[in-house]
Structure 1
Amino acid sequence: MASRDAPSALQWLIGVELKRYRDRSGLTQPQVVKAVGAGLTVGKLGHLETGERRQYPEDIARVMAACGAERHEIGRLTSLAELADSSTWWGSWSDVVPDWFGTFVGLERLAAGEFTFEPLVIPGLVQTPAYAQSLTMRGRRVRPDHSNRLVELRMQRARRLTDPDNPLTLHFALTDHALGLHVGAPEVMVEQYNHLITLAKLPNITMQVVVPERGPHDAPTGQFTVLDFEHARSIAYVELQDGAIYAAGAGEVDTYRESTRSLADVALPPEDSIDFVIELIKNV
C-alpha cells in the first residue's frame, strides 16, 4: 500500500472482518444501513468494509449489532480498532515494495502467529542478510539500486522473531530442494544453515523439512502463508509472479489450514529437521 490513499493493513483487516459478519447475517448493505439508522450511509458502510475510511469502535459496534454479532465478537473487533496502527511501519520502503506486498508486511506485523511453506527458496523471514543479498542480486526483477533496501526490509521483518515483548510465533516448512539451492558462496550457505538451526531452537519457532521420502502432502501448488491474529480471524496469503491473493473467507482459509496440518504430518519432525540441516553443513 504505497499509495497515500490506500488503507493501512489494519484498516483492511477490520474491513474484511466487518464484511464477514455482514455476509454471515445475509444482509445487504442497504439493509444494514436501515437497521443501524442515523449516521450510516451505504457509501460509508462500503468504505468501512474496504478500509478506505477509518473504522471507529462505535461504528463497528453498531454495524456488528445490526448483523446479529455476539457481544464478545463485537468486543473483539472493537479492541482491534482501538490498537495503535503499527501496520504502516514499512512506509520508509514504500518506493521499493509493491502495494500488494506492503499489505502483507503490515498484516504480518499485526499477526500473533504465522505458518509459511516455501518449496523453492529459504523463507524470507529466516534468511540471513548475505543470503538475502545474494538472492535479490540474482533476481532480474529487482533493480540493483533497490537490492540493499529490500534486504533491510527483510531484516526488519525478522526482528519480530526475537522481540522480547511481542515475539511472532513462526512455524515454517521448507523443502530439501529449497535448502539445497546454492545461493551465494559456500560460506553464505553455511551461515544460513547455522542461522536456521539457531532460530529453530527458539521456543516460538518451529522448522520442518519436507523430503520426498516421506510421501505426498496437500500443498502441491507451492508457497503460501497463513497469518493468525489475536483479535481477528486468520488470513491466507499466496504470492504470485506480479501480485498476491488474500484468502479471507472461512472456507478458503480452512483449505490452507488443512494444508498446514498435512505438511506438519508429512515433513520431518522438528528435531530431525535440525539434524537434517546439520548434515547439510558437513557437505558444503
Structure 2
Amino acid sequence: MARGQRVEIDGSESVPSFYGKELRFQRERAGLTLEQLVEGSYYGATYLSEIERGRRSIPPDLARHVDRVLKTDGYFERRCEEVRRARVGGHPDYFQRVLQAESRAEAINEWTPTLVPGLLQTVPYMRALFDADGTKSPEEVDIMVDGRLGRADLIEPRRNAPEMWVVLHEASLRMELVPTEEMADQLEHIITLAKRRRIIPQVVPWKAGAHPLMESNTRLMRFGDAPPLVYTEGPYHGVTVDDPRVVKRYQKSYELLRAVAMSPHDTLDLLAETAARYRKGKLPRCGAKTCEG
C-alpha cells in the first residue's frame, strides 16, 4: 500500500476495529497526524496506524499518552483491556503479539524440535496436545482448537499470504501422539500443504547429531515495513525478541539448521514413507542416531 493512502475502517468488523475507528476519529477531529499524536511516546506512526486499522492492540502506556494528547478523559486507557481480551480467541496472553505480527508477515520461518508446528496440525493432533496436561475442560479445548484453526487460515491462498518455511525434527514424525491412522493423516496433511505450495518443509534427521537451535521452538518473522521478529516459547511462556543483534544470531542459526536438514524433496519422500508405515501398522523404532521401520 502506498504511503499516505487512506484505508477505510469497518468498525462493525470487531472490537479492535471499532476501537481503532474511534481513535482515528478523535485524532482527525483534533487535527493531528499520526506522527504528531505519537510524538513524545515510545511508539512510531506505523504502529499507531496498525492500531487504528484494528490490526494491533494498544499498549496501556500508549493509551494513556493518547488520552492525554487528545483530552479524551481516560477513554482509550479504560477500553484497551477490553480490546486485548477481544483478540485472545483461545490463545494465551503472551502469544498476542505473535498473532498480530504473523498476520502482517511476508515470510515465516519456523523450527519445532519435538512437535508438528501449530499451523500444520490436524484437529486430532491439536486435541491430543491440548488434553495432555489434564487441566482443560472439553469446552476450553474446543475454544483452543477453534483458535488454532483460525490461525491456520494464514497459510491458505490469499493476497499477501506469507512464504512459510518449516523445519521439523524426525522425532516429531515418529512420536505417536494420536492413533496410527491419525498420525498418517497428520503427515499426509503436511505433504498436501507442501504440494499446494503453501509451505516448504524440511526434516532434520536423527543422524544429524548436534545442531543449532536444539533447545527451543523458534519462529522468525520478516515484514515489508518493519524489522524482523523472533519468537521462542516453552510450555507456559513465550518471548518475542526484536533486538537486531539477537535476531541476526537467530537468523544465522536457522540458516545453519536448514543446511543440516534433508532437502524439501527428500523430506516429502520421508513423510510419505512414514505415513505408509503408520497405515500398515509398522511403527518406526528410533534410537539416539537412527530410525528403523
* TM-score computed with the length of structure 1 as normaliser: 0.69
Q: 1:229 aligns with which of 223, 232, 238?
A: 223
Residues 1-284 of structure 1 correspond to what in structure 2 (within 5 A)?
45-46=40-41, 48-49=42-43, 60=45, 77=46, 81=50, 84-87=53-56, 94=88, 96-284=90-278
Amino acid at match of 1:131: Y
Cα deviation for residue 177 of structure 1 reads 0.7
Give deviations 1:212-259, integer Å, cap 9, x for gaps: 223432212221111111100100001123221111011010111011
Q: Mind listing any 5+ residue stretches in structure 1 that lack a counterpart?
A: 1-6, 12-38, 50-54, 61-76
Mapped partners of 2:84, 2:190: distance in 1: 25
Quick check: 208-217 or 90-99, which moved more? Answer: 90-99
Cα deviation for residue 145 of structure 1 reads 2.2
More helix by share: 1
Q: Mind listing any 5+ residue stretches in structure 2 that lack a counterpart?
A: 1-15, 21-35, 58-82, 279-293
Give deviations 1:156-202, integer Å, cap 9, x for gaps: 11111113223221101110111111122222111111100011123
| Aligned 8 A contact 1:215 1:266 in 2 | no
Cα deviation for residue 131 of structure 1 reads 1.4
Q: Runs of at least 4 residues of structure 1 off by over 4 A?
A: 77-83, 87-93
Indicate the SS of the match to 1:182.
coil
| Aligned 8 A contact 2:111 2:219 in 1 | yes
Cα deviation for residue 106 of structure 1 reads 1.7
Could you say if the C-alpha distance between residues 243 and 182 of structure 1 is closer, same or farther in structure 2, counting changes exceeding 3 Å? same
Mapped partners of 2:158, 2:203: distance in 1: 27
Could you say if the C-alpha distance between residues 171 and 239 of structure 1 is closer, same or farther in structure 2, counting changes exceeding 3 Å? same
Quick check: 175-184 or 212-221, which moved more? Answer: 212-221
Mapped partners of 2:49, 2:248: distance in 1: 22
| Aligned 8 A contact 2:185 2:275 in 1 | no
Cα deviation for residue 90 of structure 1 reads 9.3
Task: Work out which structure has the larger RCO, using CA pairs closer than 8 Å and 6 or more positions apart in sequence.
Answer: 1
Cα deviation for residue 111 of structure 1 reads 1.2
Indicate the SS of the match to 1:199.
helix
Mapped partners of 1:40, 1:87: distance in 2: 17
Mapped partners of 2:137, 2:112: distance in 1: 23
Larger radius of gyration: 2
Amino acid at match of 2:205: V
* TM-score computed with the length of structure 2 as normaliser: 0.67
Cα deviation for residue 275 of structure 1 reads 0.4
Could you say if the C-alpha distance between residues 205 and 40 of structure 1 is closer, same or farther in structure 2, counting changes exceeding 3 Å? closer
Cα deviation for residue 97 of structure 1 reads 2.4
Indicate the SS of the match to 2:99.
helix
Quick check: 128-137 or 265-274, which moved more? Answer: 128-137
Mapped partners of 1:140, 1:238: distance in 2: 24
Mapped partners of 1:256, 1:118: distance in 2: 14
Identity of aligned residues (%): 24
Mapped partners of 1:119, 1:153: distance in 2: 23
Task: Compute the RMSD of aligned alpha carbons.
Answer: 2.9
Could you say if the C-alpha distance between residues 270 and 80 of structure 1 is closer, same or farther in structure 2, counting changes exceeding 3 Å? farther
